[in-house]
């Protein structure tokens, strides 16, 4: 199709604790947060409310009090749409799929303006309840769940394998956390903004060896809204916008951890999806100016950065320790602070990745601005990158 999609507006709340416990007299209501973000994002875009013909929501957590959230919010917004109004679900890829579906509605001509939006509330739910739910929903009931595997355990095994195969050190992998916290210190949307040192990262209590507290994602609440439009509409607004240049998806046929012998740290789905996205965009990884990666742990950022061609195979941890992925380095990665410091409200995490690219590629990232940023990339994943969804973006001034 000849149509193209652009990001023209964005809004988000700082990642953190927003959910209120059941016994609190004054409750934080999800729809009050979300309606405000829609208004802010639409104002940022400069479009008219009646132009919006599709809204694609991330499925809220089961802890969200208001069910059928998408149609309830339509009533709050007093919107009537002929394109699509729906919720999508895809585990960690949920928000990336919402963005992708909103793009599709524009590409198919169902809408000229579409919203990708969602809210993730979980911080008032006990860690025990959340972890039991996470193990049961992410794992294979015949193996992972009964063995007590958690998602962090998958990544810890990746780290051990990577250190064994490539001689990477614990400190090199931990350097990713230091870099991300520095980026987060410059981001008003980040959950944790106090700078940390390498010694502090290494000294933290282990979560699953060799990953410590600062190398895994915190729990938190978040909400974001992106306004997408056809490129024709984007041009008519007379403002900078971000063009979606390429898209790639791949599922490798496994569930979290493959039961078929394979390269467990190769992230083949990410590699294939990236190749497709680059081919469609007409660029190579060497032309990227920054990347926002869905990387729940330090080791995941290392592995996916190698898989998508940002860094040489086996050199990702060393490159992070040398400062190559830091602001001002050769290829800044996770300029928002990444999942370990910006935060990881799982069902909307990828929306924050797109918000960061929208800010960077429109030259609005403030102290963390990548100079003359033209091309950026965002990744989404399922479990342990058994599947990847990747978008390549371009700045249009």
Q: What's the CATH number where 76 sits?
A: 3.40.47.10
Q: What is the pLDDT of residue 195?
A: 97
* Residue 60 CA from chain centroid, whole number: 16
Classify residue 163: in a domain, yes or no. no
Q: Output the pLDDT for position 128.
A: 76
How many structural domains is the chain composed of? Answer: 1
pLDDT in the model for residue 180? 98
Dihedrals phi, psi of 54, to nearest 5 degrees: -140, 140
Does any domain span residue 225? yes
pLDDT value of residue 178: 98
The answer to whether residue 21 sits within a structural domain is yes
Q: 170-184 vs 298-307: helix axis angle to the nearest 10?
A: 90
- What's the domain range around 89? 5-125+219-236
Q: Please, what are the averages of pLDDT over each run of 10 residues along the chain (397 residues)?
A: 89 94 87 95 96 95 82 91 94 95 97 97 80 71 71 92 97 98 98 98 95 95 98 97 98 82 91 98 98 98 98 97 98 98 96 98 97 97 93 96
Do the domain assignments include residue 83?
yes
Q: What is the pLDDT of residue 1?
A: 47
Residue 24 belongs to a domain: yes
Q: What is the pTM of this model?
A: 0.95
pLDDT at 257: 73
Say if 41 falls within a structural domain: yes
Contacts of 23 (CB under 8 A, 6+ apart): none
> Could you tell me if residue 62 is inside a domain?
yes
Residue 75 maps to a domain: yes
């Amino acid at each position: 199709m000849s149509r193209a999609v652009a990001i023209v507006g964005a809004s988000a709340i700082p990642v953190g604790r927003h959910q209120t416990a059941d016994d609190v007299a004054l409750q934080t209501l999800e729809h009050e947060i979300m309606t405000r973000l829609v208004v802010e994002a639409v104002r940022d875009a400069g479009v008219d409310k009646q132009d919006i013909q599709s809204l694609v929501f991330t499925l809220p957590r089961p802890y969200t009090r208001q069910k059928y959230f998408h149609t309830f919010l339509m009533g709050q917004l007093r919107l009537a749409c002929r394109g699509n109004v729906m919720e999508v679900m895809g585990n960690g890829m949920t928000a990336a799929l919402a963005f992708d579906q909103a793009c599709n509605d524009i590409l198919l001509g169902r809408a000229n303006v579409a919203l990708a939006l969602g809210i993730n509330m979980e911080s008032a739910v006990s860690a025990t309840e959340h972890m039991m739910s996470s193990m049961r929903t992410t794992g294979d009931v015949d193996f992972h769940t009964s063995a007590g595997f958690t998602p962090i355990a998958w990544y810890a095994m990746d780290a051990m394998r990577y250190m064994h195969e490539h001689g990477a050190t614990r400190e090199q992998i931990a350097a990713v956390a230091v870099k991300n916290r520095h980026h987060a210190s410059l981001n008003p949307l980040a959950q944790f903004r106090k700078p940390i040192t390498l010694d502090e990262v290494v000294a933290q209590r282990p979560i699953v060896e060799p990953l410590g507290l600062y190398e895994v994602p915190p729990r938190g609440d978040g909400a974001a809204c992106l306004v997408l439009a056809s490129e024709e509409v984007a041009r008519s607004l007379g403002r900078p916008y971000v063009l979606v240049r390429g898209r790639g998806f791949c599922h490798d046929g496994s569930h979290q951890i493959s039961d078929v012998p394979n390269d467990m740290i190769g992230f083949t789905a990410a590699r294939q999806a990236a190749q497709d996205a680059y081919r469609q965009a007409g660029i190579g990884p060497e032309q990227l100016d920054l990347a926002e990666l869905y990387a729940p742990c330090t080791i995941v950022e290392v592995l996916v950065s190698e898989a998508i061609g940002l860094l040489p195979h086996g050199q990702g941890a060393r490159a992070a320790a040398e400062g190559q992925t830091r602001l001002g380095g050769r290829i800044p990665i996770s300029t928002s602070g990444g999942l370990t410091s910006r935060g990881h409200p799982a069902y909307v995490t990828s929306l924050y990745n797109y918000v960061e690219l929208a800010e960077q590629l429109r030259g609005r990232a403030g102290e963390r601005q990548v100079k003359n940023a033209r091309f950026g990339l965002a990744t989404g994943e399922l479990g342990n990158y058994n599947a990847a969804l990747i978008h390549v973006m371009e700045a249009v001034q």
